[in-house]
Amino acid sequence: MKGEPMATVETTAGAGGKHLTFKLAGEEYGLPIGKVQEIIQRQEITRVPRLPEFVSGVINLRGKVIPVLNLRRRFGLPAQTSTGRACIVILQAPSATGWMLTGIVVDEVTEVVEIPTERVEPPPELGARVNLAFVAGVAQVGARLILLLRTDKVLDSREWAVVEQAAQTEKGAD
């Protein structure tokens, strides 16, 4: 499978390194900085029909049309009207034909932090409000608890296609 080598890098053992941290529904999350292309201001997102709920739509990134995910919906968190600090983090994700850019909407970007590998613990069995498949590990930085995300799982575009099929079946039923 294509995502495999990446997945090994992002598991607990090797999850240290520089991370971009952001806030979503009160929790703090981290993304490996190498996967982040840029952070842009929140802008109007154009809806695209027949995609799963967690795909907000598409935006214009300097002439390129790229999809944007709503992480709250992706993680099953309550929806919230955006605070003024909401922004879109543009990530690189592997795709069938090389690299693909995808945006995720987050409540607020906090900082870039160096996370020593030894601070990273495996994801807890209980208590997390997030689907554990998305979490590579949990890091303790001072008093903060940061959930480190597996971008390959979060951005896996194969899931979008599945939902598209589901939408068609639903249509067939009516």
Binding site for other proteins (CB under 8 A): 44, 46-51, 55, 57-60, 62-67, 95-97, 100, 102, 157, 160-161, 164, 167-168, 171
Give the burial class of 164: count Cβ atoms within 10 A of its Cβ; 0-12 exposed, 13-18 middle, 19 or more buried: middle
CB of 17 to other proteins, least distance (A): 26
* Smallest gap from residue 77 Cβ to other proteins (A): 21
Q: How far is the CB of 106 from other proteins (least distance, A)?
A: 19
Fill in the DSSP letter of residue 13.
G
Quote the CA–CA distance of 70 and 78 in Å, as a whole number. 11
Between residues 44 and 118, which has the closer beta carbon with respect to other proteins? 44
Whichever of 60 and 131 has its CB closer to other proteins, that residue is 60
**26 Ramachandran zone, left/alpha/beta (phi>0; psi -120 to 50):** left
Smallest gap from Cβ 67 to other proteins, in A, equals 5
Are 56 and 174 in contact, with CB atoms under 8 Å apart? no
